[in-house]
Amino acid sequence: MPNVRQIAGAMLLALSTAIVVHVPTADAMPQPAVVKPESIQLAQADTVGKSEGLVRRIDKGAKKVTLQHGPIEGFDMPAMTMVFQVADPAMLDKIEVGDKVRFTVTRGGGAMTLQSVETAN
């Protein structure tokens, strides 16, 4: 009758011969993506504009302010009323609805962000 060591050895031998390792050939290996220079779109640098306006609404929760502003120098943007994100939410503590303000704003990544604001009263 076989002992425990013989049985364990036979099982190990059976398992090791049953394991098949598949090593893909170089042709079957995934190839890295090739990026052509003409397909790369460079991100536009943020552009900076300046204007003056009137604070119409402040939304501290959303970190946004609505300004009725004059033309924005640097953007070729006419006077209008629009909502701006703020770079620093603390800016919203320095202004109140109805304040006349001077501000700088950046445009980049599809968003317009207020970088600075000061009362012009």
Residues 48-78 have pLDDT tens digits of: 899 999 999 999 999 999 999 999 988 888 9
pLDDT at residue 11 in the model: 62
Domains of the chain plus CATH, in order, are: 47-119 (2.40.50.320)
Is the model more confident about 33 or about 10?
Answer: 10
Which residues is 101 bridged to in the sheet?
Answer: 53, 119
Q: In whole numbers, what is the pLDDT of the chain averaged over residues? A: 79
Instruction: Identify whether the C-beta of residue 53 lies closer than 8 Å to the C-beta of residue 69.
Output: yes
Query: Which of 14-18, 36-40, 50-54 has the highest average model confidence (pLDDT)?
Result: 50-54
Q: What is the mean pLDDT of residues 114-121?
A: 90
How many CB atoms lie under 10 A from the CB of residue 106?
20
E-strand stretches of 14-110: 47-59, 64-69, 80-86, 100-108
Indicate the pTM of the whole model. Answer: 0.61
